[in-house]
Amino acid sequence: MAEPELYLGLISGTSADGIDAAICAFGDADAGAPPVQVFAARTYPYPQDLREAIVALARSRASVTLDDYGHLDVRIGECFAQAALDLLATSGLPRDRIAAIGSHGQTLCHRPNGAYPFSLQIGDASVIAERTGIATVADFRRADVAAGGQGAPLLPALHAAVLADPAIGRAILNLGGIGNLTLLVPGRPVIGFDTGPANCLLDAWAMSQRGIARDEGGTWARSGHVDHLLLARCLDDPYFAAPPPKSTGREVFNLDWLDARMLCDIAADDVQATLLALSARSIAQALRANAPDVRELYACGGGVHNPVLMDALRGELPGVRVDTTAALGLDPDFVEAVGFAWLARARLRGEPGNLPSVTGARGPRVLGAIYPAPRA
């Protein structure tokens, strides 16, 4: 039996916690092969100063010199390349087994609306190809944005390919910095969109008030009480009521956004509890508005490790099974990395990687630019 073709996916999400890396193969279900096999997966934290620089730049008022931007682009590329090399070393797989790396890079700014829409990810793919000796596919969002789409979310195509059930309506929820939903309802077009903040405001508030990267396990949020007036002011943002296709990011949902809605002093732990309630409530409202008959929701991303957030989702969605993608055979920590490996495969095969029903693009588009492996 021939060895499966392997792809290596790399991504750092809006939380900028680090680089998720996964080595995968994709099978033909009609031939009896599993749709996804993950051979190795691991997360590699950013150096603390680099993470702080990324988070600072993602805030709406941030500015950067061209020199600083160029240095950051190359440094992130070096970190992505090292993550790929480290994963290959720990897996024992030779680099010549990898058909291509799919690198999402690090999103700095996502502005798909307006006169000149764009989505900016950095992490020099030429550096990744040069350091690893492996062809690298990157820059996945621009083609969709150029075609009038949001350029996000891109993972619903993977969800539809490997997590859908022909008889059961399902929702796949990514709990990253930003939450996004994929709605897989038999007989209907796939819908996917960003719901708003999942972890980004929780993490930002924890850093500003306690100097910690995240509220581990949601224990701080559990200690507070929801301020219902603040919650209502947050939910009043027009983004939550807007219909899909839509996408957003940290450049919108940040501490400046929160400050504009805090019209009085509120205890810090109550703010944290309210932000967690905002994440759960906005996700539940989005699901009810767009797929009220769905009774299964499977979550992935870093938020699955916050039991308070997961319990809040269950409380907001009575009658809906709320679980993680582990129940469907896919590690919730590495769904996105698997997704960008899958998109790299689609690019090499000349297949579209977007779903116009999700992004709003004028049609299917082949996504990503190929950075060839060095010849010598």
Provide the pLDDT for residue 3.
Answer: 85
Residue 346 lies in a domain: yes
208 with 127, same domain?
Answer: no
30 with 73, same domain?
Answer: yes
Residue 186 lies in a domain: yes
What is the residue range of 51's domain?
6-152+333-371
Residue 159 lies in a domain: no
125: left (phi over 0), alpha (psi -120 to 50) or beta: alpha
138 with 191, same domain?
Answer: no
66 with 189, same domain?
Answer: no
The two tokens of residue 132 are: 């690893």
**How far apart, in Å, are the Cα atoms of 167 and each of 289, 325, 326?**
21, 18, 20
Domain boundary (328, 345, 361) is at 328
Provide the pLDDT for residue 44.
Answer: 97
Amino acid letter for position 282: S
Provide the pLDDT for residue 31.
Answer: 63
135 with 211, same domain?
Answer: no
Provide the pLDDT for residue 322.
Answer: 98
Residue 309 lies in a domain: yes
26 with 53, same domain?
Answer: yes
Provide the pLDDT for residue 375.
Answer: 87
**How far apart, in Å, are the Cα atoms of 131 and each of 24, 84, 323?**
20, 10, 39
170 with 313, same domain?
Answer: yes
The two tokens of residue 102 are: 């799919």
Residue 1 lies in a domain: no
141 with 280, same domain?
Answer: no
183: left (phi over 0), alpha (psi -120 to 50) or beta: beta
323 with 337, same domain?
Answer: no
Provide the pLDDT for residue 1.
Answer: 60
What is the domain count for the chain?
2
Residue 24 lies in a domain: yes
Domain boundary (328, 345, 362) is at 328
Contact in structure between 135 and 129 (CB atoms under 8 Å): yes
Task: Count CB neighbours of 180 within 10 A.
Answer: 27
**Antiparallel, parallel or unpaired: β 191-197 and 6-12:** unpaired
210 with 252, same domain?
Answer: yes
CATH number for the domain including 51? Answer: 3.30.420.40
pLDDT in tens, the chain (376 residues): 678 899 999 999 877 889 999 999 998 766 667 899 999 999 999 999 998 888 878 765 667 889 999 999 999 999 999 999 999 999 999 999 999 999 999 998 899 999 999 999 999 999 999 999 999 999 999 999 999 999 999 999 999 999 999 999 999 999 999 999 999 999 999 999 999 999 999 999 999 999 998 999 999 999 999 999 999 999 999 999 999 999 998 889 999 999 999 989 999 999 999 999 999 999 999 999 999 999 999 999 999 999 999 999 999 999 999 999 999 999 999 999 999 999 999 999 999 999 999 999 999 999 999 999 998 7
Residue 113 lies in a domain: yes
Provide the pLDDT for residue 137.
Answer: 98
Percentage helix, strand, coil for the chain under 3-state DSSP, each rounded to 5:
40, 20, 35
18 with 144, same domain?
Answer: yes
66 with 118, same domain?
Answer: yes
Residue 320 lies in a domain: yes
